[in-house]
Every structure is written in C-alpha cells, then in structure tokens.
Structure 1
Amino acid sequence: MARLSVDWPQLFCALSCIALAPLVPGYSFRNCIQNANHNGSFQCVHRFLTQVSSAVFDLPPHTIHVNISHNLLTQLPVGSFSGIPSLLSLRLDYNQIKHVEGSAFNNLSELLVLNLSYNKISQLTPSDFLGLENLCQLLVDHNCLATIQPDAFTTPRSLQTLDMSFNQLRNFSEVVSSITALRKLTFLDLSTNHLESLQHSAPLPPSLKFFYLCNNLLKALDCQRDFLNRNFTLDLSDNKISQFSKVDLRKVAWLILKNNPLDISEFLRFRDVDPQRVEYSGLRLHSQFANLCQHLGNGTMEHLFLQHNQISLRNLKSMSKCPAIKAWDLSHNYLIRDDCLDFVPQKEQVRSFILEHNRIQMLPSCSTGGNGVIKFPKLTYLSYRYNRILAIASHAFSHTAHVQTLLLNINNIAVINKTAFANLSDLLTLRLDNNLITDIYQETFHELTSLRILNLRNNRISIIFRNVFVNLSSLNILDLGGNKIRSLTNLSFSGLHNLTKLYLDRNYITHISREIFGDLVSLKVLDLDKNRIRYNSGLTEKSPFINLTKLNILKLQAQQPYGINIIPPKFFKGLFSLQALYLGENKMSLSRYEFEDLINLKTLSMPDTCNGIHSLNPGVFQNLQHLERLDLENVGLQFMSVDIVGSLCNLRTLVLGKNAIQTVNSTVLEHLPSLSYLDLRKNPFPCICSNSWFQNWSLYNPRVQVVYFYNQTCANQQTEYLYSFDARVCYLDIGHLMFEIILPFLFLFTFAPIIYGKGYWHLKYGLYIFRSWLNDYRGREESQQCYRYDAFISYNSKDEGWVLQELVPNLETEGSQCFKLCLHHRDFELGKYIIDNIVDSIYQSRKTVCVMSRSYLESEWCSMELELASYRLFHELKDVVILIFLEKIPEAELSTYHKMRKVMKKKTYIQWPTDVEAQKLFWIKVREAIKGSSRAKDSGPEVDS
C-alpha cells in the first residue's frame, strides 16, 4: 500500500521539467532524436555509445531533458555536460558506468532529476555530485554500491528522493551519516541490500516521509529507541526480524512487516506501535484473528491489509470482534467462496473490499438485510480480479447495491445470469475483460443506468444482440476489443447516446455501415484495428461515418488478411471533427479524393501500407490544411513533390522512412513552412551532386530536425555516409578547369620548336641514356655475356686516316693476338638509325676506344658516343672506356668539356707518341687495356706519356 502512495517530490520534479521547457527550432543531431512535440527533450537510447560526448556534443544549450539510457557508457569524465547547462532531467540508466569523475556534472546547477540506475557504480563520493545544488531526485538503484562516504551528499542538499535499492550496502551507520545533511529528503529506499544492523551514529532527516528497508538481512531493530519514531511509512518486509524490543514506533504513520519470522502473539502484545497503522499482510495470521481483532481495539480503521496470510473461510469466523474497518484487502489468500461477505463485521462502515488472487469459483445470489436494508450501504469499490470464477448467479450483488466500481476481470466467467447485476443502479465502472463470456443480453445490463465504463475485452463474444446496451444511456466507454464479433446491426449500439469511446479492435468484423453507428452521436474515439474490413472496388454505400460528426480519433489499421485495399470515395464523409486517422498496415492504393472531407485532421498515420513502388496522386492531401503530423513510413514512395504535400502549411512532423526516395526536392521543403521534424531513415540516397544541397541543409538548417541523418549511408557506396560526401566536386569552375587543361598545351606548342632547335641533341642524349638504362639484360656481368666485338672505335671522320692506317692494322692483323673491332663505316647496320647503331655497337663491344682529338671534342656525334660509353662506366660500374689522345690538348682547353674531365679523372688514358720506338710500347698498352677486366676500378687516373 505504501508503494502506491503519490511520490510528490518526483511529481514536482517532473512537472518542473515540463513547465520550464523552452520552445526552439530543431536541426540534425548525430546520435539523438529531438522530441517532435517538445524541442528541449532528446532521446539517445540504444545507440551503442561508449562516450557521453558522442551523445551531447551537438545538443543545443537550451536542452532540458536527455535520455542516454541503454548504451555502453563506462565512465563520466569531467565536464561531460558542460555544453547543456539548462538541463533539468538526465537519464543514464542501463549503462555500464563504473566511475563518476569529479565535476562530471559541473555546470548543471538547474538539474532536478538524475537517474543512474542499472549501472556498476561501487561507491559515492562528494566529488560525484559537484555542481548539482538543486538536484531533488537521485536514483542509483541496481548498482554495486558498497561504500558511501559521509559527506557524499554535501552538494545536493535539496535532495528529496533518494533510491539506493538493489545494491550491496552493509554499513547502515555509514548511509545515515551521509544523508544527515539532507534536510528536504522525504523518500529513502534502501531495499534489497545487505544490511544486518540498524546501528547508527547520526539521526535520520526529520523531513523523511517514506523509508524502505525491505529485503535486507535485519534480525532486530537494534537502533536507538526513538530513532524510528517518526511520522513516516516504514517498510521492514522480507527481513529476518523475529521480535521488537526497546524501540518506539508509536509515531510511525504506516508500518509494513510482511514476510518476517515474527512471533505473532508477541507482536500483538507489543504496545510501542499503533496497531491501526500496521499492514498485517504476510504475517501468517490465519489462526490469530481473534487476537488480531482484540489487538486492533475499538474505533474505526481506515485500512486493514491481510494479504498473503493463508486465510480460509474457517479463519474468518473470528472477524466478528474486529473494529469498524473502511477498506479491506484479503488478496492472495485461500478463499474458495465469498459467502456474500457475511463474515465482515460492521458492514455499514465498509467502503472498499478487495478479494483478488484467491480461489473463488462462483458468486452466489445474495440478499439484502432485513426489511430490505442494504448490508453494505457505503461500499463503493469491490474487486474479485484474478480468481477462478466460472459463473455469477442472479442478484449476486444485492448486498452491495451502491457499489460504483466492480472488478471481475481476469477470471473464467462463462455464465452471467441475466439478473446478476440487478439493483446496481449506482455502478459506474464494470470490468469483465479477460474471461470466457460468449453471450450478453439486454437484461444483463438493464439496471446499470449510471454505468460509465464497461470493459468486455478479450472474451468470446461473437454476437451483439439487438438493444443489448439500450439502457446504458450514461455509458462513456465501451470496450469490446479482442472478441469474435463478426457482424453488427443497426441496433447493436442503440441507446448509447453519450458514448465517447468505442473499442472494436481485434474482432472479425467485415462490414460497417452508417446504421451501425447511427446512435453514437457523441462518439469521439472509434477503434476498428485488426478486423476484416475490405473493399475490392471503389463502389460502396454512403459513408459509414456520416453521423459521427464529433469523432476525433479513428483507427482502421491492419485489416486482415491483406488490408482495406481500396478506400471508396466519400468513405470519410461526415468526419468534420476528426483529428487523428490511423490507416497503417493496410496494403492499399490511394486516389486523389479519399481525404477531402477531413478538413480538421491533424494526424494522419499510414505506415506499412506498401503495395509496391509507386507515387501518391497529386492533390491527395490538398484539403488537409490543418494536418500537423504525417506518417508515410514504408509506403513505397519514390519521390515527394509539391503536388503531393505542398498544401500542408501546418505540417510539423513528416515521417518518410523505409521508402524508395533517392532525392529530396528543395521546393517541397520550401512549401512546408511549419515543418520541424523530418524522418528519412532507411531511404536509398546515393551520394550524387543532386543530393549535395540536401546534405548541407540537413546539417545546418536552423528549422528542421532530420532524424539520424548522420547514420544515412550512400546507396551507391554502402561504406560511405551522405553527410561526409565531398560536395566540392559538384561546384567546379568549368572555365578555370578548361584553362588549366589548355595552358600546358599552349606552352608545349609555343616552346617545343625552340627546345627542338636549341637542345635537340641534349634531348637525344637523355632519351637514349634512359633507353639504355631500361635494357637490364645488357648490364649482365661480362662472364655471363657473349660480346660480338672486342672494341668499338669511336673517332671523328677527320681522324679516320690514323684509324685505318695505324689502329686497325696493329689491332686486327699484327701481333700475337688479334681483336675484332667495330667501325662506323664498316660494321653499322644499313637502314638502321645511326643512334640505334651506336647504342647497339657500344653494348655489343667489350670496350669502347675513344680516339681523342680537338675534332672529336667538337663533334656532337662523338660526344654522344662518349656519353653512352661513360654511362656504362659510371652507372653499371664496368671498365669499358679507353681514351687515346692523338695530340696534346692543354688542361685549360679540356676544362670546358665536363664529361671528358670526369672520365679522365676516373680512367687511364693513353697518349699517342710521335717517337717510332715509343709506338711499340703504345700498342702493347692498348692491347692490355682491351684484354683487361671489365669491372671498374676505384683508383685515380693513370697518364701515359
């Protein structure tokens, strides 16, 4: 009972959060959704977040509520919420938070509610709540709390509600010391911990109104005598307390002791507790009723709770000595019948009687008292829920004729006598749902003229007989959902002139007509979900809703098995007041005129009406000028156009998820000036230039929130995201691009002739040097390569006489060894480019002999031959160059020929002597040089005189 009390601090906090909420425009957020109807509220749930910053970094400063529950957070770093200082409510439950760093909540001076439930926090310290000066509700239940430092709640001194249940607290004194400073604390829950003692060193806050210690390991109340003597609700249930001694509980407003191993006789003799302020549930009182009634004394009790006491009818005979009791609760006992409540003493004082969760199988006929006096004249609330009642006899409630609320739901009722509810003219609420009722008759409810609510949901009713509700002119709510009703007639609901809510969902209704609802002129809610209504053509009778001019909400979703299919013209005619229409889960096609009569419609919900890929007809929503919410999720749309939604000037929420939309027309959004919430999730947007404007608009528009735009992948690149698409490629300057392309060609055609004329041979040299470098096979070791010539002779044509008269005879014909020489005029291949002949000759010869003279140095062809030969020398590290100087050339004159100087510093060169005797030694040295190793030496130059 105590837990059903109104938690005023929590209610105050919640109302404060709503009252202080600002209204500002929305835009896209990475991991949160802004509430469509409340711009300061954000949901960041089930996002697999491991860091708080991932949720709050892009939230606006005016945020007042954030829900980051059901994620993977493990810690709260310093200043985690510094960017949202106006926060009033924060949910962090269902994470894996182990540690709250100091100043994690710094700057949240306006926070009222903090929920840290279902985490892994093991201790609370003063630094955990720095900055929370105005916090009024703190929930840290279902954690691993074992330690609470004495000054843990120094900062949140305004705390009113503190829930630390389902933890591992053992030291009660430590807990009490930590909350002493909380002068406004009214609610403290320490249930389901490991507390074994109530020893303490500090008092409880005087403001405490609810104190829960249930489901701990307490064996005795070993606290100071007056420690618990406060005007609060004290719950000590589910402990191991066997006795009370040396403790004063006389001021306790309500004491709960359920499921403790108390000695009942001893407890009933305990005088330091007000016996009328105790809940006696779960104390095994089935054999102690006589003592209990004596213990309760005289006077009048407001409540007597006797749940879970194994009470049977035999035990109730001792109740005659009990005082007058206004509210009885005998739930969860062993009663097999109620005997018309004759066992209840002082019946005239009873106002409420609860017999739920017993074993009652039948409600018999009951008579009034003598002279027709009603036995229970003040009884207004009677509940038999969760029993095994099969039948209700005639006049079963004559003894409680003034009852206003009668609960008979969740039983096995199959038979109700036609006069079972006779004389219940004051009855306002009758619940018969979740039973086995098959038939109801006019006589069943004939005398319930004041009935306001009738619930017959989830029974087996298949027929609504004519005029069965004809006398229920005061009925406001009729629930017939979840039955087997197949058809209705024009008299099924006759007489229900004041009915405002009719629930017919989950039945087998195949046809509806204007006559069926003819008397329901006050109807505001009509639920026809999951029936079998279907139209195969556009032809139908007059609108079945023509008389329902006050209807506000109409539900027609999920007609079985395939949906409505077609909505006939003028189907909704007469629904001038309709504000919400639900048509989801129907495989149907729409024409242009279905909604033309719904001029005041504010919500149109049509999710999952996909009947293939298609587009809506232009003007289908043109008359819905007041529409504020439109849900078209999974309807097969390929695009949205101005012709479809352009007239919805008041539309605030547009849901278009799970469609086939690839581009968004900017003109469409321009025609929706009130739009603030746009859901386009799971549409196949490709990363193309036509969507580049939408990318920028979604991220930075100041008006419309595009839900989870950061999770929108590219249809043409599933690993890429639309928000990161590089739109710069869509804005290239074509003129500048063409200039950059053409400019190199202009330079090429302008300077190519100059370069060709001035540096032709240099280019040639470079080209063929590069070509020779590419021929790797020509760089093999001499030992692994067969040469065609022993030496290639490089000379100028002016020195050809010396070559033919001196060099060729001495190397090819004279001496003990003859060499095969390669000469220009003799061995070059006819028809082949000269350059190719030179390259091939150099690489097919073991050595290259350069006959040096001034004419040689001045020749471009000779310079090229020397260049190619020196490449083999310097880059391939092969000793292949032999220099023969025919004349003395001064050092100063040679200095201008850099390549020549480089070769002379690296290799031996031989000077042609004028002395005949010296010439013999000259030819010996030349032969030795041609025969020598082809591996280059690192020694300096050798000069032969």
Structure 2
Amino acid sequence: MATSIHRLLTAAVVLGTAALISTYSFHNCIETSKDGQRKAFQCVHRHNKTMSAFVDDLPTTTINLTIGVTPVTHIPRDSFVSLPHLQDLRLDRNNLSDIDYLAFHELHELKSLNLSLNNISQLNPDVFQDLSNLTFLSLTNNQLKQLPETIFSTVLELNTLIMRQNLLTNFSAIATSVSHLRNLRILDLCINNLTSLTHTEVTLPKSLTTLYVCRNNLLTLGCKWSFLASIQVLDLSYNPHLPTKAFAGVDLGNINYLRLRSTNVQIVEFLNLSNIRPEHIDFSGTGINNTDKLKDLCKTMQRKKVKYLNKLILGNNGIKTLSNYTLSQCPNIITLDLSRNEFKPTNCLSFLTGQTHIQSFHAEHNVIRSLPSCKVPNMVQFSNLRDLSYRYNRILLVNKYAFYHTPNLQTLKLNINTIAYLDNLALKNLKRLETLRLDNNLLTDLFAKTFEDLSNLKLLNLRNNRISVIFNRTFHSLGKLTTLDLGGNKITHFQPAGFDGLKNLSKLYLDGNNLKEIDPSHYFVFQDRLTVLDLENNQIQFHPGSPRSPFRNLSKLRDLKLSRQQPYGIAVLPDTLFQGLHSLRSLYLTDNKIVHIYPKTFDDLTGLQFLTLDDCCAGVTQLQPGVFKNLRNLTKLTVENMGMQNFSKDVFGNLTQLRTLQLNRNVMQSIPVDALESLPNLQYLDIRDIPLSCTCLNRLLQNYTLTNPRIQVVYLSTLPCLHDVTQKFYKFDGTVCFIDLGEYLFFCTAAVIFLFTVIPLLYVKLYWKMKYSYYVFCAWFSDQWRSLRDEKEKCKYDAFVSYNSSDEQWVMEQLLPNLEGNGSSFKLCLHHRDFELGRAIVDNIVSAVYSSRKTICVVSRSFLQSEWCSLEMQLASYRLFDEHRDVLLLVFLEKISDRQLSSYHRMRKVMLKKTYVQWPGSDCTDQEQAQDLFWNQLRRAMRTGSRLEREEMDQSAAPSKV
C-alpha cells in the first residue's frame, strides 16, 4: 500500500511539471537500432502529411532515418536541422513533389540520400548545397525532365548517382552537371528519354567507371572518341533503334562489360568496327539465334586472336538447337550461359565438343524436357565442368547416367522443373558433388540407390515435391551432408532407418509436410550435431503426460520451429516437451491453438534468446505464474494476439535480460507497472491494439510510459482509450486518481491513532528530558549557556543544594552548619539565599548548577514530587552522564522503596552508577556515631574533582550504600 501511494505521489509531481516529461516514444517512427543508442529510425505507413510530424521528436543522435509510404508532398526549408548527425536518409515511396531551397540545410554528415519513387519534377539548383559529404544519391522513378547545371556543384564526394526512370532528354546538360564530380564512379540513366550521348566540350569524370543508359531512345551515341575512355561497365541495352554505326569513332578499349541486348547492333559488324575486346561483351539479346551466326561469331573472335572467354553469355537470342561442334571454333570458354532461349535438347552437351576448359554451363529458362543417358561409347567427357544449371525448364524425367559425362560436378541445379521421374542411377558417378538442388519438382519417391555415389554432398534441397515416405537407407551414403531440406512435401512418416548415414547433418527442414507425431528414434543418428529443426506447418500433436521429450536426443539444437500445425494447431504443450534442450536459442510456436501451457513447459530452455507465441492460443489465455521463470537469457518475446488476459510480475518477472516485448493485439485492459519494472533490460515495448482503459487502473502505466527514458513504447501518442477512441491514452486526465477519499480517511485516522498512542508514551518516558531540553534551550537563548560552559572548573560555589521546602528545616539545621560551619570551608548555594532577584527561575537554576562544582540532591518523598527539584536533578544528571563530570551527590533523608523509585528512571540510573548516602533514621542504634560517619562521607565526596573520564564511569565498581 505504501509503495503504491509513493508511486501515485511521484506520478502527480512528475505529471504536474511538463518539463520533466522524457517520453521514449515517437509519434510516427520506430527506433530500429540494436545498440539502444537511438540512431536508426523507420517511419513507414504513416498518414501524416508534414515532414515535421516525423522529425520533430527524433533525438539529435539520429544517424539513419527512413520515411516511406506516406502522403508527404513537401519538404520545407530546414526540415532536418535538428538532426545534424544524419548519415543515411531514405525518403522513397512518398508523394514528394516540392523540395524547398535548403531543405537539407546543416546535414554536413549526410552520406546517402534516397528520393526514389516520388513525384519530383524539378529541383532547386542549391537544394543539395550543404551535403558536402554525400556519396550516394538516388532520384529513381520521379518526373524530372531536366537538371540545373550547378545542382551537384557542392556534392564533390558523390560516388553513386542514380537517375533512372525519369523524363530526362538532354544528356549534354547531365554531363555538364556531373563533369566536376571527381569521385563519381556509377551513373545510372536508364529508362529516360535520351536520344543520344551528344555533349559539349565537357568530359565525364575520369573516376566514372560504370554508365547505365539502358531503356532509352538512343538513335546514336554522338560522342567524341575519348568520351567513354574511362568507362569499364556500359549498359546500352533496350535501345531498339541504336545502330551499329553509332560506335564508329568511339573508344571502347577500357570496357570490360558491355550490354547490347535488344538494340539494332549487328554483332559481327560491331566487332569489326569497334576496338572493344569480344570477351567483354554480353551477347544476350543480340540476334545470334542459330548455329551459323554463332559460328560466324566464333570465327570473328578467332581473327581478333581471342584465346579465352571467361564468360560467353548468349541468353535471350531465341536459340533452339545447337549442332555438334558448334562452338569448337570459339576461343576456350570458361563459363557459357544459354539462359532464356528456346533451347530444347542437350544431347549430353555434344555441342560443346572441343570446349574442354569449360567450368560452368547454365541453360536456365529454356524448354528442355528430359535429360538422356550419357553413358555411351565415345562420349565426350567434360572433366573440368564444376557448375551445371538446368533451372526453370520443363524437364519431366532424368534418365540413368544423365551426368556420367560430367564426373567432377560440384553444383547441380535441377530445381523448378517438372521432374516426376528420377532414375535410381541418374546421379551415378557424381562423387564430387557438393550441392544438389531438386526442389520444386514432382518427385514422389526416393530410394537407397538415388544418392549412392554422392559421398561428398553437403547440401540437398528436395523442397516442394510430392514425397510421402522416406524409405530406409535413402541417405545412407550422405555422410558429409550438413543441410537437408524436405520441406513442402507430403511426408507422413519415416521408416526406422530413414535417416541412417547422416552423420554430419546440422540443418533439417521438414516444414509443410503431413507429419503427425515425432519419433525420437528418427533423430538419434544426429543427436550431437543437429542445430536447426524446422517442423512448421505439419499435423503434429503432443499428448499431455508424456513421460519423455521427443527432442531429448537433440542436445545441440539451437533453432526449433513448431508454428502453424494443421488443421487446428498444437493444443497442448506438455511439461516434458522441451526437456534437455539447454542449447536452444530460438523457439517458434506461432499460429497454433494451444489451450494450456503447463508451468514447467519451458523450464529446461535456459539458453533461449528468442520466443514467439504469436496467434498461438485458442481464446482467452491465462499464463500460469512461473511459466517463464527459467528464461533468464531471453532477449525477445513476441506474444501478439494470443488472447492474453493477464500480465503480471509472477509470469514475466524473471525475464531479466528481455529487451524486446511485443504485446500488441491482446485483451488485457491494464498492465501493472511493477511487472514492467521487473524487466531491467527492456528497451522496446509494443502495446498497440490492446484495449487499455483510461481509468485510475492504468494511471501508473500512463505515467510509466511518459517518463521512462529507457523503454521505447511504440506509437504511444496514437494509442486510443478503450471506451473513447477519440481520446488518447497518454493524455487522459487522471487527476482524480490521486484524491482517494477512502485512502485519505484511512491515513488521517491512522495518524490520529498514532499520535494518541505515542504522545502518552513520550510523556511518560521523555517528559523530563523534553522539559529539560526546553529549559536548556531557553537558557542558551538568553545567552547564559555559552558563558556557563566556558567556566569549566572555576565555580563560585562548592555545591548547589537542591531540596524541597518541606525539608528546609533539615537543610538549615543540619546540612548548612556541618558543611559551612564546624571547621568546614565549603560554600553552598541555596535558592532562598543566593538566587538573583528579578531573574527567571529557570535561569537561576541553570546558573546555580553550572556555577557549582557539585549538586547535592536532598531526596525525600516530597523531593520526588517537586517539579523544580526534578529539573535540578535533570540538569545535574546531564552533567554527569552527557558531560562526564562527577557533580551529583544524592542524600536520602528517608528510606524509599524500589517500587516508589521505579518511575524515576533518571534517578535510578544515577543510583546504579554513583554511591549515595543515607541519613541515619531514628531507628539507628548508635545515631550519633552514624551521623558523624554520614558527615565524613559527604565532606569527602565534596572534595573530589568534577572531571570524570568515560572509562572510569564504564569500569567503576558496583554502587554501594553508605
């Protein structure tokens, strides 16, 4: 109760002062930094139309900023002056059409600016004036028709300039604007309306090595001989009217990659006209569509004395067939690409006869229907071939020994075909194969002999086929396999020895199959190696009360995926399900219909760092206390839309390393702050689409989200109230929450009871102490205290006599004559004789006590009942106990029982510390002798000094009665 009140009072103070609010939430952005330094932000799919709505609440430390898919049309001047350290700014996919002068003012550290996919039609000449460190600029997909000549005059560090998909027509103006950019390396002008590369006296920067002018309307080049001398990569593709003669008088000697696809260039004529080396040309889409043209090309390259072609690209030429020895007259080809043609037969690569150096052959996106057997007499062997790809064809069957002529293949890609029949011996002789792609085909069965020769295989992808059963010893030869992908098939079960031989498997993908249960014996063969197991989208169910975990053999498993089990998802997570998975780092349980999670389910997952339970539960979920108690290493937890009704410290309190918590789309109406405070490392909190009530129940939560500088609350300013969506959670009025009449009355009543209980106790215990303190203060205030303390041992009197008026006769007749007369030289202070007239009685008492070496208290029953005597006693005992001065002498005139003295604590304390004297009564047998002894004892006590060391008091002998 006291803690809650303290929090409420703290919240009231903080909320009462607007200047103290330090919300770690942003109106339209989400921080994406990993180090918690508030440096990277994404502001995507927001509906605000002004740039200030995105920028104003961002910290000055921001380095990366993305603002995209918004209706913003205008960037005003000085929009980013509050972000002086910005280095990467993305403003793509908006509706920008107007950028003011100095819109990027003060962004001296900006290195990358992306303005793609907007509606910008013109730019101010000085819009980039302050971007002196800019290295990347993209203006892709806008409406630019021309560029101001000086627009890039200040961005001298620019390295990459992309202006593709605009309406630019004047290449000369573009060349002029970039001519001084000494660091420019890449210039992209594709998809514009350029008709030529005609230019004035300007030259392209010598640093420029890559120029893209594809998909324009080039009719000629129109440039001087040396204009393209520094260019190494030149793309002129998809300029359908560009003729061969356009290259006359143009130096292409430094080009190492040239694309001429879909132009009007006659390739053989071009080779004879230009000084470019043939091996640097991409011949795809250049009209080489038959054997004769290909032979002419080869002969031309021979005349040019080309010995090696590192890459011969012949894609998009409409090639249908190639006869034997077609390429025999070509230079030695290292890589051949025949993709995107109409190529049908391969004839065991007989058209490559004579190309013994070839290492890579790609025939993707063709119409190949089958791969024949290649184990025939006199078959040409391509022993150097390492990479073979037949992806995206129409291959229906692969015959036996289909790759017998390529024994040293390391990568074989047969994926994305219609292979329904793979002969048991189709892959025979591929003993060095390391990667095999058979995914996205129509395979139904795999047998023991299918992979028998693939002893060096490391990756096998069989995803998206129609395999239903894994037979015994299917993979028995794949001892080096590390990754096996069987996802997207129709596997219902594995035969007992289905995984035998997989001694080094570390990643196994079985998602999208029809598995209904997990047999631990299946995974026993790779219990010490498997790190990734994907079982998503199957039909797996777990039974409560299962004695052992189905994953118990997978001690090294790091990633486990169990999401989206069909048709209704996992219903129960037993206590034993994850037993032994101490190495697990990521667990996926998304999209299930779990009705109950046992408290001990996650107990063994001590190393877990990521857990997702999104959409995992059926209806309202009540998480049991302690369900996450051992997940102390968890850093990210997503529990979106799981119907969670409770969020408490008992459930989440042990997640001490949690940094990211996604709670959105749950049904709790309140979130206790103590539960959030138990997460000391929390940095990211998403509570969107939670029906939070704007009542006193969430007043502490409102204050927590507004004042916590450590935790980012996603889009806090847009969170609505449960019963009024027009009201925002962060600013609902909670003033009334602090006026709780019941609590107010309780504390008032408690205070009154406390006072009435304590005051009598204080009165009994400390009455004289307080009264004495009051009198001492009064004396000090009257300037008496200091003078009295300074007198120390120099006193006017030997003793001050404190007595009650009823005992005055004994004092005058006995005490005074025996101490001042009869040969004694003591000087006594008596109040009726020595007190100063007209002076306050308190001042006189204090002066008498401190002006006398001793204080003699004449104790009787009347003395004990006297208020003034008690004060004098208190003063003297203070000097005794607090100042350590031996100043107090007790003289008892009559016998007083211990019961009568029990309430006089100060006197009892003195009697326990000091010797006291008793006046002999009438019952004494030898009264005269007793009185002589009494006076001798008293005079001797009077003669002792007043200084008493603490050690002497603490170690003094027990008191005695004389």
Instruction: State the partner residue of 1:636.
Output: 643
Q: Which moved more, 1:292-301 or 1:594-603?
A: 292-301
Aligned to 1:221: 221
- Shifted more, 341-350 versus 179-188: the winner is 341-350
Conserved 8 A contact 1:221-1:245: no
Q: Secondary structure at the match of 1:126?
A: coil
1:528-576 deviation digits (Å, cap 9, x = unpaired): 00100013x4122521111111111000011011111001221111211
Matched, 1:304 2:305: no
Aligned to 1:862: none
* Structure 2 residue 616 is the aligned partner of structure 1 residue 609: yes
Amino acid in the other structure paired with 2:279: Q
The corresponding residue for 1:421 is 427
Distance 1:354 1:177, change over 3 A: same
Query: Equivalent residue of 2:334, what SS?
Result: strand
- Partner residue of 1:379? 385
Offset, 1:670: 1.5
Q: SS in structure 1 opposite 2:356? A: helix
Given the alignment of the two structures, is residue 702 of structure 1 paired with residue 701 of structure 2, yes or no? no
* SS of alignment partner, residue 398 of structure 1: coil
> Among residues 592, 613, 630, which one is paired with 2:599 in the alignment?
592
Residue 124 of structure 1 deviates from its aligned partner by 3.1
Distance 1:540 1:484 in 2: 26
1:31 to 9, 28, 32: 28
> Deviation at 1:696?
2.3
Q: Does 1:364 align with 2:372?
A: yes
- 1:111 is matched with 110
Where do 1:886-925 residues align within 5 Å? none
CA contact (8 A) 1:490 1:517 kept: no
1:243-282 matches, cutoff 5 A = 243=244, 244-282=247-285
When residues 454 and 737 of structure 1 are mapped into structure 2, their CA distance, relative to the original with a 3 A threshold, is closer
Alignment partner, residue 456 of structure 2: 450
> 1:277: how far off?
1.0
Q: Does 1:656 align with 2:653?
A: no
- Give the letter aligned to residue 709 of structure 1: L
1:85, 1:715 → 2: CA distance?
39
Distance 2:683 2:498 in 1: 44
Corresponding residue number in structure 2 for 1:680? 687
- Please tell me the residue identity of whatever aligns with 1:343: F
Distance 2:449 2:159 in 1: 54
What is the match of residue 330 of structure 2?
Answer: 322
Q: Conserved in 2, the CA contact under 8 Å of 1:490 and 1:518?
A: no
User: Residue 136 of structure 2 aligns with which residue?
Assistant: 137
Counterpart CA distance in 2 for 1:165 and 1:516 is: 55
What's the TM-score once normalised by structure 1's chain length? Answer: 0.73
The CA deviation string for residues 82-128 of structure 1, in whole angstroms up to 9 with x for no partner, is 11222121111111111211111112222121110000111233321
Provide, for residues 741-785 of structure 1, a one-character-per-residue CA deviation record: whole Å limited to 9, x for no partner: xxxxxxxxxxxxxxxxxxxxxxxxxxxxxxxxxxxxxxxxxxxxx
Equivalent residue runs for 1:92-111 within 5 Å: 92-111=91-110
**Conservation of the 8 A alpha-carbon contact between 1:686 and 1:717:** no
- Once residues 556 and 114 of structure 1 are traced to their aligned partners in structure 2, the CA distance between those partners, rounded to angstroms, is 41
Tell me what 1:523 maps to: 530
User: 2:360 matched to 1:352?
Assistant: yes
Task: Name the CA shift for 1:384/1:642 in 2 (closer, same or farther; >3 Å).
Answer: same
Aligned to 1:170, the other structure's residue is in SS state: coil
Aligned residue type for 1:407: K
Q: Aligned in 2, Cα 1:499/1:733: closer, same or farther, shift over 3 Å?
A: closer
Equivalents in 1 of 2:467, 2:544: separation in Å? 32
Q: Give, as a single letter, the amino acid of the residue that structure 1 aligns with 2:258.
A: L
Partner of 1:91: 90
Distance 1:26 1:237 in 2: 53
**583, 587, 599: which is aligned to 1:577?**
583
* TM superposition shift of 1:736: 15
Please provide the CA RMSD for this pair: 1.9
Q: Deviations over 1:237-277 (max 9, x none)?
A: 00121123222212212111000012344224224221121
Q: Is the 8 A contact 1:36 1:676 kept in 2?
A: no
- Counterpart of 2:788 in structure 1 is none
Distance in 1 (CA, whole Å) between partners of 2:272 and 2:672 is 82
Offset from partner CA, 1:5-25 (integer Å, 9 cap, x none): xxxxxxxxxxxxxxxxxxxx9
Pairwise mapping of residues 234-245 of structure 1 onto structure 2 (< 5 A)? 234-239=234-239, 240-243=241-244, 244-245=247-248
Q: Distance in 2 between matches of 1:32 and 1:57?
A: 11
For the structure 1 residues 345 and 700, does the alpha-carbon distance in structure 2 shift closer, same or farther, using more than 3 Å as the test? farther
- Counterparts of 1:669 and 1:728 in 2: how far apart (Å)? 23
Alignment of 1:530-569 (within 5 A): 530-535=537-542, 537-569=543-575
Inter-partner Cα distance in structure 2 for 1:488 and 1:90: 52
Q: Secondary structure at the match of 1:447?
A: coil
Query: 1:736/1:481 Cα in 2 relative to 1: closer, same or farther (>3 Å)?
Result: closer
Deviations for 1:508-527, whole angstroms, at most 9, x for unmatched residues?
A: 10010210111123111111
Distance 1:663 1:735, change over 3 A: closer
By how many angstroms is 1:712 displaced?
Answer: 0.9
1:750 corresponds in structure 2 to: none
CA positional deviation for 1:369: 8.3
- For residues 296-335 of structure 1, give each alpha carbon's deviation from its aligned partner in whole angstroms, at most 9, with x where no partner exists: 2231111110001111224675322111010100111121
Aligned to 1:199: 198
Q: Aligned-pair distance for 1:735? A: 12
SS in 2 for 1:328: strand
Work out whether residues 235 and 256 of structure 1, in 8 Å CA contact, stay in contact via their aligned partners in 2.
yes
- For the 8 Å contact 1:161–1:188, the answer to whether it is kept is yes
Alignment of 1:809-828 (within 5 A): none
Q: What's 2:49 paired with?
A: 50
| CA apart distance, 1:55 | 1.0
| Mean Cα deviation higher: 261-270 or 83-92 | 261-270
Is 1:293 the counterpart of 2:303? The answer is no
2:558–2:584 Cα contact (<8 Å) kept: yes
Counterpart residue number, 1:870: none
- Residue 417 of structure 1, CA deviation: 0.8
Pair 1:366–1:506, CA change in 2 (3 A): same
Q: Deviations over 1:869-925 (max 9, x none)?
A: xxxxxxxxxxxxxxxxxxxxxxxxxxxxxxxxxxxxxxxxxxxxxxxxxxxxxxxxx
- Quick one: structure 1 residues 425 and 225, their matched pair in 2 at CA, closer, same or farther if it must change by over 3 Å? same
Paired with 1:429 and 1:681, the residues of 2 have a C-alpha distance of: 45
1:768 maps to none
Quote the Cα distance in structure 2 between the aligned partners of 1:187 and 1:257: 18
Which amino acid in 1 is paired with 2:423? N
1:448: Cα distance to partner?
0.6
The verdict on how the C-alpha distance between 1:315 and 1:93 changes in structure 2, with shifts beyond 3 A counting, is: farther
Report if aligned partners of 1:286, 1:315 keep a CA contact under 8 Å in 2: no
Q: TM (normalized to structure 2)?
A: 0.72
SS for the counterpart of 1:343 is helix
CA drift at 1:491: 1.8
User: Which residue pairs with 1:22 in the alignment?
Assistant: none
Pick closer, same or farther for the CA change 1:362–1:729 going to 2, 3 Å: same
* Counterpart among 417, 440, 444 of residue 411 in structure 1: 417
- Secondary structure of the 1:44 match is strand
Matched, 1:283 2:286: yes
Structure 2 gaps, min length 5: 1-21, 746-962
Name the residue aligned to 1:232: 232
**Are 2:324 and 2:353, in contact at CA under 8 Å, matched by a contact in 1?**
no
1: CA distance, partners of 2:295 / 2:619: 74
Partner in structure 1 of residue 816 of structure 2: none
Give the match's secondary structure for 2:697: helix
Opposite residue 252 of structure 1, the aligned amino acid is: I
**TM alignment of 1:151-170, pairs within 5 A:** 151-170=150-169
Greater shift after overlay, 636-645 or 522-531? 636-645
Contact 2:325 2:353 in 1 (8 A): no
Aligned-residue sequence identity (percent) comes to 43
2:697 to 668, 690, 697: 690
* C-alpha distance in structure 2 between counterparts of 1:651 and 1:368, whole Å: 64
Deviation at 1:176, TM superposition (A): 0.7
SS at match of 2:335: strand
Aligned to 2:89, the other structure's residue is in SS state strand
Q: Report the equivalent of 2:818.
A: none
